[in-house]
Amino acid sequence: MPIIPLHSAPIRSVEVRKFVRERIDFPLTDEQWLMIDAAMGEYWNHRIKGSWIGNEDVAGFIFRHCEQEKMLISWERVLEITNQIWVYLEMKGRLVDLKVICLAPTK
């Protein structure tokens, strides 16, 4: 399970949206993205740096947020979108894989 590194900085939403849209096989409207992005920001900003995170946890948070705001989107689509967000964050070094930390040599 990945963790948020201590050096985590703001995330560029425009770049993430472009990345996600290129990798999903269903339409994602600007309105849907803005809702998902706002929920993701709320989730991310309320996590403590160095805390554990998981895709299903954030997908559930975002899905509940969409339901509360009366935006229809399936759980499967939210799960795929958040999965692609994690891929992006890992590629950009925004997440640290626990396995890498555990296998790192100690001094």
Number of domains in the chain: 1
Q: pLDDT at position 56, please?
A: 85
| Dist CA 42 CA 46 (whole Å) | 6
Q: Is 43 a domain residue?
A: yes
pLDDT digits (tens, 9 = 90+) for 16-52: 999 999 999 999 999 999 999 999 888 877 776 666 7
Q: Is 88 a domain residue?
A: yes
Q: Is 51 a domain residue?
A: yes
Q: Is 18 a domain residue?
A: yes
The runs of H, that is alpha helices, within the chain are 13-23, 30-45, 55-68, 75-91, 98-103
Residue 84 near residue 62, CB atoms below 8 Å: no
Q: Model pTM? A: 0.76
CB burial of residue 14 (10 Å; 0-12, 13-18, 19+): exposed
Q: Is 92 a domain residue?
A: yes
Segments forming the whole domain that contains residue 22: 2-97
Q: Is 105 a domain residue?
A: no
Instruction: Select from 55, 63, 74 the least CA-distant residue to 2.
Output: 55
